[in-house]
Amino acid sequence: MEIFGYIAGICTALCFLPQTVKTLRTKDVRGLSLISYVVYALGVLCWIIYGCHLYAWPMIIFNTPSFIFALLIIAQILQSKGKK
C-alpha cells in the first residue's frame, strides 16, 4: 500500500509543472488566481514543515517541488501586476 503514497506524491509534486512551464514561457497570468496560489503555497509549506517535524522524507521531498512551482507562479502574477 505504501506505493500509493509514492504515486500520490509524484502526481502532486508534478501536477503544477505544466502550468508553471506554460506561465514562465508565455508570461500570461490573466487566468490565474493569486489568492489560490498563495493559499496552495501556504498549505504545501505547512506539509513540508510537518514532514520535517515527523522526519518524513517522502512528505518533504514530494511537497518541495510543489512549493517551488507555486512560488514561481506567484512571482509571475506579482510581476505582472507590477507592470500594470
Residues sharing a CB contact under 8 Å with residue 25, sequence separation 6 or more, in sequence order: none
Return the C-alpha cell found at 34.
493569486
pTM score above 0.85 = yes
Identify the CA nearest to 61 among candidates 50, 46, 51, 72: 51
6 confidence band (pLDDT: 50, 70, 90): confident
69 confidence band (pLDDT: 50, 70, 90): very high
Q: Please, how many CA atoms are within 13 Å of residue 51, restricted to the half-sphere of its CB?
A: 16
Amino acid in position 9: G
> Does the pLDDT value for residue 84 go beyond 90?
no
